[in-house]
Structure 1
Amino acid sequence: MLNRSNRWAIRNRFLGTAILAAAVIGCAVSAAPALADPTLAGTQIANTASLSFLDGGAPLHISSNTVTLGVDVLLDVVLEAEQASIRPSGDAVTPVGFVLTNGGNADETFALTATNDPASTAIVGIATDSDGDGVYSAADTMLTGTSVTLAPNEHRRLFVLARRGAGGQDATVSLTAASTTGSGDAGTVFAGAGVGGADAIVGHTGGRATAHTLLTTQATGPRLEKSQSVRAQDGSDHAGHGSIITYRLDAHFPGATAAVELRDAIPAGTVFVPGSMMLDGKPLTDAADGDPASFDGSAVRIVLGDVTVTSVRTVTFETKIL
């Protein structure tokens, strides 16, 4: 029988492991976050040890008593906006996509709250991507309530249907999902609220998450910004013979973008500095090999492929003034 202090020690280790896993996985999140499958709530973890020894030269084996522990419920949720910004079409209803993931270890119901700022933007309703094609259509199902139930590690795409009001000013559409079992600071315990009367413990995310998308009149596609800096041989920023020009390209992606490639020709009056290309601060090779970059003698080329999330990718390279 485990005493109360032992149960708390085991419970804290269980929560700590879950928080670490969520932190590591959160570094590489995508439109459908991939979470490690947690041990299901209610699972009985049984353990028996053995002892071997010699008795009068004869080997003997004995077993300890078996200790058993039921896994408590972990309350965790991940919610992501599929696009940072959307340009609506007039006053038509705009579907704003979000992906909800149950990061816990038991079936959980999440209460959904859609809000708008300013209030002139109306929330028409929330739909679920019932046909799974990632695009809102008449085939998708409007929620009749304000909650959804997800199995452990299940993803659900939701569309908040919004209509901008008169004036057409920018507006923010937000969606909040909160565990109906409970939410709060990580480690908060809801005694007996879990499967089979087990305790429910709030995980790393607090059992509650909010994501936002901007409805804007501005262009929302990818954009590319270029800047430059000069370093002369004497350490100044004078542009003269032998000075090094560092070019910086910042590629902004508001969401998923397919087949991305950057190309920049080396300007006349300069020569490319070998080995100077970098992507997000990491060095690249000049040859067309395993990394995304290459230099063909006249231009640098960086192939990013499909960009899946809202992000900024930064390329730098150097040329020398002749």
Structure 2
Amino acid sequence: MIDSKQLALILEALPDPAFIFTRSGKYVAVFGGRDTRYYHDGTGLIGLYIQDLIKPEKANWFLEQIAKALDTQKLMVVEYELSNRDVKGLLDEGPTDPIWFEGRIQALSFQVDEDDVVLWVASNISERHHLEVKLRELSDTDQLTGLYNRRRLEHDLTLHHQALTRYAVPTSVCMFDLDNLKIINDTQGHHVGDQMIQAAANICRTALRKNDTACRFGGDEFVIALPNTAREQAMQFAERLHGYFKQELDHFSVGNIVVTASIGITSMVPEDTTHEDTLKRADRALHEAKKMDKNRIVWG
């Protein structure tokens, strides 16, 4: 049998820190945290409250998780980040990357000072989190251009369509391709064609706003999702984008073969059953622009 002294030594030897919190956020006890790569001695926290150390927004989040664990009496597993910006008394100019933790929170069957308590075990998962982010970015990114790929676009457009149907938030979709790329590929080589595609991607980045999504849809075809954007603003965006193309793609022109861009643009409407309806309308508008001697914008 393990006696109380041995149990105390075991708890102290835990690699990850384990906290006992009251419902009100008081640190009742701290065990473990012996992995010095990630943790410091936490015994000085005993008797303090989360609200004493953490700024209100994040402190309230911690208290909410404690309350949920106590109310449900079930093990809760949460992921969260902490940075200098969350801690009272520290400068905001801390490490640019926050530390990510997995918290496992379990209600305990006793009280301390007539207050319910939970066990909160915190594990540093920063390396795993950054790897997951990198893998997610790779799965969402087109290798040639660095823009998002079709998979990510489909995901974003699905969310935008839901925002339209539930909250009437408008989204417009801009689809374009490069005029005369095939001729350039045949006469100058595919490496020049790839350079044109990369140039088009860079032009997209110049024109994008923070919440816009640019994607290489396939070949030399691109799609840009413009959330919170109705027809008038969308046309202004398309005209600005078209102007950039005229300026930047001209140096790829060879002899009488002029490199330009044709654009089809439309907005999601309530009648669209899915985002696919919007994409099809943008695609038809693009084809109409191609039939009208290219190098133009058509609303669909």
- Give the TM bin, normalised by the shorter chain: under 0.3
Which protein is richer in strand relative to its size? 1
Relative to total residues, which structure has the larger helix share, 1 or 2?
A: 2
Larger RCO: Structure 1 or Structure 2 (Cα < 8 Å, ≥ 6 residues apart)?
A: 1
TM-score, length-normalised on structure 1?
A: 0.23
**TM-score if structure 2 supplies the norm length?**
0.24
